[in-house]
């Protein structure tokens, strides 16, 4: 395929995918591995850092913070275009990755975390997938072209995972300031976890998360109280590390 035809074919998807395309999508468009190699060699395409077998059209501005997460989400769909997946998502960004995508708190996501609708064969260790469980349509939204759990779901999930309290507090406070979280609902989210975090009741844990605790005590971590955490507040199965099943 000529250079011009290959670029034209790829642009059908890159325009809706942050300038990116996966190797599987390129094959679906009829752009071969040889064509991709030529476009990489002449600088028309570049590798997306932190996302193997995901490419970006030269000239499209990179986002070092979010591009690896976006690339991982694209790969989970194999060759399905983003526009089709957003209408009926098979993967929604969750937990720490969702907080990062929304710009909440300062947690570092050691793996890309998603709720997914189907199992994947584990190979990669930079993904953490959980079964869709009871994730409802009112618990996620599209943000910047990526399906992302809403702030209340993020907080509930991180508390269920026994995330460090100070990290969850940062997320809660940023979400309230951004208008993404109603502080009045925080006690309900905290209720199943107050004992694990050493709080006398849900209201006191909510106050600590909002930074309005007064004399309720210092921020701690659930691990100090010997609680066994599960992601089961919403009944999600943990699929562990997975592989999108794509090869360049």
| Average pLDDT score over residue span 51-64 | 91
pTM of the complete model: 0.84
pLDDT tens across 187-208, in order? 999 999 999 999 999 999 999 9
Percentage of residues in the chain with pLDDT exceeding 70? 84
| Average pLDDT score over residue span 140-167 | 97
Position 112 confidence tier, pLDDT thresholds 50, 70, 90: very high
pLDDT tens across 68-107, in order? 999 999 999 989 999 999 988 999 999 999 999 999 999 9
Q: What is the pLDDT of residue 123?
A: 65
* Contacts for 158 with CB less than 8 Å, ≥ 6 apart: 95, 96, 99, 167, 168, 171
Give the up-direction half-sphere exposure of residue 159: CA atoms within 13 A in the CB hemisphere.
Answer: 30
| Average pLDDT score over residue span 20-38 | 94
Position 121 confidence tier, pLDDT thresholds 50, 70, 90: low
Q: Using CA atoms in the order 41, 42, 44, 48, what is the torsion angle rounded to 10 degrees?
A: 30
Question: What phi, psi does 199 have (nearest 5°)?
Answer: -100, 145
Strand partners, 140: 149
Residue 66 pLDDT > 80, yes or no?
A: yes
Residue 224 pLDDT > 90, yes or no?
A: no
Q: What is the pLDDT of residue 230?
A: 34
Q: What is the mean pLDDT of the chain?
A: 86
> How far is residue 223 CA from its own chain's centroid?
24
* Contacts for 167 with CB less than 8 Å, ≥ 6 apart: 105, 106, 107, 158
Residue 215 pLDDT > 70, yes or no?
A: no
Strand partners, 46: 56
């Amino acid at each position: 395929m000529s250079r011009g035809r290959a670029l034209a074919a790829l642009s059908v998807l890159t325009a809706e995918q942050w300038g990116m395309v996966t190797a599987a999508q390129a094959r679906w468009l009829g752009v071969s591995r040889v064509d991709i190699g030529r476009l990489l060699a002449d600088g028309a395409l570049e590798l997306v850092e932190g996302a193997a077998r995901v490419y970006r059209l030269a000239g499209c501005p990179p986002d070092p913070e979010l591009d690896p997460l976006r690339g991982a989400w694209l790969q989970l769909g194999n060759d399905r275009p983003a526009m089709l997946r957003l209408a009926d998502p098979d993967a929604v960004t969750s937990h720490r990755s969702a907080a990062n995508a929304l710009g909440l708190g300062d947690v570092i996501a050691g793996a890309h975390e998603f709720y997914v609708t189907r199992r994947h064969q584990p190979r990669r260790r930079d993904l953490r997938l959980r079964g869709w469980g009871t994730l409802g349509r009112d618990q996620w939204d599209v943000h910047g072209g990526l399906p992302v759990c809403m702030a209340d779901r993020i907080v509930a999930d991180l508390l269920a995972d026994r995330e460090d309290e100070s990290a969850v507090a940062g997320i809660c406070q940023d979400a309230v300031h951004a208008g993404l979280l109603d502080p009045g609902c925080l006690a309900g989210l905290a209720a199943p976890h107050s004992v694990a975090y050493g709080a006398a009741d849900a209201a006191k844990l909510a106050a600590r998360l909002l930074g309005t605790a007064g004399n309720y005590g210092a921020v701690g971590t659930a691990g100090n109280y010997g609680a066994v955490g599960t992601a089961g507040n919403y009944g999600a199965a943990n699929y562990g590390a997975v592989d999108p099943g794509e090869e360049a």
